[in-house]
Structure 1
Amino acid sequence: MTNQENLLDKYYRGETSLEEEKELMELLASEENQGADEDLFAYFENEAAIPDDLEESLFNGVLEKQEQRKTRRMRWYSFSSAAAVVLVLLSVYIDFRKEQKREMENQFFVMEQALYQLSSSLQPEEQQDMLVLWVDKDVEIILN
């Protein structure tokens, strides 16, 4: 076995040091025919290289992410504030309708009491078992 084969065996078992890996890369780079091992080391070498614009791309990515969060947050705030406005308007409308109904019931009760008092004052003694609520030319409202 040659030195290169020994280093490759050691490398694949995970027993090489950094110096031995550098030596193995140099041996594979100096070799004229390229094999799978050379391609593997070339791939790892290319992957290990740090791009020149790494800092700028990271900074731009962070700024873009912050803008997305801010946009999402503003959208959430606008939806929640619109929902709050709708709820407030709905509760005011419902309260207004309840108050209107209560007022109409009170007016109806007052009118009913007035008609009762009027009918009891107009009703003859012999018709005490009937309650006359309203008498007009063509209309009579009588309760038994």
Structure 2
Amino acid sequence: MKKFTIMTLLENMLGKYYKAETSLEEEKELKSAVINDAEQLVEQKIFSFYQEEAAVPQGLESDLFAAIEKESNKKKGTRRRLYSIISATAMVVIVLSVFLDVKTKKKTKLEDQFFVMEQALFQVSESLQPTQEQDEMLVLWVDDDVEIIIN
């Protein structure tokens, strides 16, 4: 009789459970009763499966923190590489700018020196220009702007 009463009680509780009319306490009692009962094979397998799956695996927390730390370190490594690349690029730009500036200044200085020489040669040429009286002239050098002539 006791077995029949327990079975009826279990069947009633299972009926309420499948209709979603049980409280959390009733579900806990039902699950423990079904798992311990040898005759409820289908529900026993279902409840035992859910009970095993509901348990948090050991070491899960440490594994999660290790994965988070690894990902964080990977991002830090990526940032460091990015900063290194940016720094190297900035150095190349600075060196290139200085080189081009020095080259431009050197070219400007050479052009200025050439202009001074050209002006000096022009003044020498002007002072040595033959007058109408002189017939013999010796032309040393002729350019678009400069002529070197000796009498």
Task: Give the TM-score normalised by the residue count of structure 1.
Answer: 0.71
> Would you say 1:45 and 2:47 are equivalent positions?
no
- In structure 2, the residue matched to 1:140 is 142
Within 2, Cα distance between the matches of 1:28 and 1:88? 78
Residue 117 (structure 1) shift: 0.4
- In structure 2, the residue matched to 1:106 is 112
| Structure 2 residue runs without a partner (length 5+) | 1-10, 133-138, 147-151
Within 1, Cα distance between the matches of 2:53 and 2:108? 79
> Would you say 1:89 and 2:98 are equivalent positions?
no
Contact 1:28–1:38 (8 Å) recurs in 2: no
Amino acid at match of 1:140: V
CA offset digits 1:20-79 (Å, max 9, x no partner): 2213424553354426x953x455433321111123213322332332133222212211
Within 1, Cα distance between the matches of 2:75 and 2:17? 51
Residue 96 (structure 1) shift: 0.9
Q: Trace 1:67-82 onto structure 2 (pairs within 5 A).
A: 67-82=73-88
Local SS of the residue matching 1:108: helix
Amino acid at match of 1:34: V
Aligned-residue Cα RMSD (Å) equals 2.8
Larger RCO, structures 1/2 (Cα 8 Å, 6+ apart): 2
Say how many residue pairs are matched: 128
Change in CA separation of 1:7 and 1:143 when aligned onto 2, cut-off 3 Å:
closer
- In structure 2, the residue matched to 1:34 is 42
Within 1, Cα distance between the matches of 2:144 and 2:60? 95
The structure 1 segments of at least 4 consecutive aligned residues displaced by more than 3 Å after TM superposition are: 26-33, 41-44
Match of 1:9 among 11, 19, 38: 19
| Structure 1 residue runs without a partner (length 5+) | 127-134
Task: Give the TM-score normalised by the residue count of structure 2.
Answer: 0.68
Residue 17 (structure 1) shift: 1.9
Change in CA separation of 1:46 and 1:125 when aligned onto 2, cut-off 3 Å:
farther
